[in-house]
Structure 1
Amino acid sequence: MDEVAVKLRDRLRRERDVLIQVFNAGGSVDRLLRDLARSADQLLREIAEAAGVTRHIALIAVGGYGRCELFPHSDVDVLILLKRPATDADTATIEKLIGLLWDLGLPIGHSVRTLDECASEAHDITVLTSMLEARLIAGPRPLFNSFRSAIAAAVNREAYFRDKLLEQQQRHIKYDEAPYSLEPNVKESPGGLRDLQVVLWIARASGYGASWAELARRGFITAEEASIIRRSERRIKEIRARLHLVTDRREDRLVFDVQSAVAELSGLHATATRRSSEVLMQHYYRAAKVVTTMNTILLQNIEHRLFGREGEEARLLDATFVIRNELLDLTDPSDSTAFSRDPNGILRAFLLMAQHRELKGMSAPLMRSL
């Protein structure tokens, strides 16, 4: 093993241990994820220098690592970007770089592409999504800027929305469309972190922003809703980070065997009437409910902004409800007092959903009112 890699690997372990200690002592999960990513950034820069990375090669963080969210046992995904097809010298540099990366002991996921290959492979929605969150670690900034421009030019906003929505629907089916699973996957299950990431991916690809604050400023959600999303997102991130620490591996399934340990590590203890695992799961389900609701509201609002609101004429069901665009909606979507005047309407909404099987769901205004 290269002497440089040995020293860097040992330093990485020490830094990681300190960051986890701070987190376990009550530190912020957002800070943990950000600092783990920054620690990896610095090491990768030094590795790139040791490998002799030239002005024709850039080392780029992608995926979750690209958005500066590195969970304790998540993969460190990097793109090795070439300005041109690799020469023999470039190939030797890349081989040395990859060898040093593996010697670090990090769970590295890497791909090697030229600028032209990145543009041509952007038709693959998985590849495109990972590149949308790209962040330069080492190498020439002009090359990275050319990469960003090529990816932006490759995005078809409407097609990307449809593809990501279909992908989410398929994922929800895989996980039984159940946000309240007894053993949820906190990343992939309905109500998990992926449901929030999908919204931000679509928003970024559509040019609407890459944060909840930006979406609030553009009118997709209120400032209060943005705050509620951030709290719920933080709660699920905390659970996922502690799940990694308890299992000492990349584990996103909150199975029965680890729920109590995750709860105790989270500072959630048993009460006279509930086990610590029950307290933990209550916290998770509350957050997952928020995620599920806000995912639906945001995707509807983005869809309306992208495609317009034209559609089928509203079909009146009663004084309060209509069917509009295959969704149960309020007769007046701007009426925020509908249920304060008619509390029974809350139950009637769910009755109508059961009676009209053709409905695909509830509208964003109706969900907000409920």
Structure 2
Amino acid sequence: AWKGKLLEDLYHATLAKLAGGDQAMANIAAKQAEARIKLALYGLPNSAPDALWQQLDGRYFVRYDVRDIAWQARMLWRRTHSTQAVVQARLSPVGEGIQVLVYTPDRPDLFARICGFFARIQYTILEAKIHTTQHGYALDSFQVMDLANRGIHYRDFLSYVEHELARDLDPAQPMQAAPRGRLSRHQRHHPYPTTVRLEVDAQGHGHMLSIICADRGGLLFAVAEVLMRHDVSVYAAKIDTLGERVEDTFLIRGEGLLTPANQQALEADILSVLK
């Protein structure tokens, strides 16, 4: 189901890009109107999402469907300027695993902490949408699953994720290491080619980092650690896990990208942790 959702998201994002400015704005307005209707069903006033939405650009509304937009607005109502990390989890609306929302003031180690948490509890990140608001908050959504098939009841696990991940995101807590997973037997005998590509974003917003490689536990945490070590922050990301292969794209910025030598060093370090 989640693979179908990825393809559906890509389809709608492509349509929005091709539609042009006026049509794109009309599509966003339609999504917002439908989301307000959903929020009203929970007794929220029509103005409930305004404080949050004022901090979001059009890209956010293109990337998310109405169901997610409404859920996130409901979870973050009256918490737009919260100084504490907000972590909310629910059963995935696409039918597998859980969906986790993280909303907190952005900082360089945030992505690494989140990836490390899921690696430690042996959950695989199937999809991640990373967004930075106009007032400097991270609004991140993760689709995660227990691919080890340990028989965990997802519904009982939601409160654990909310409590423990919020605790891990406390800046006063030291960042914990995550275990490094091994390649499967199939991956060892039929390895996927590893590709790392770094290029200037066509829109001038930073650099695009693209990674294609075999998946294994702790992979995203290893990449996030390298980015943090190079003083590079993730401003947006599309994380796709397709079977035993990952195809990840990051919009990144930071001091570690200022010179060609910096960029080459970053690429080399990422390649080294992917092998």
TM-score by length of 2: 0.30
Please identify which structure carries the higher helix content. 1
Larger Rg: 1
Higher relative contact order (CA closer than 8 Å, sequence separation 6+): 2
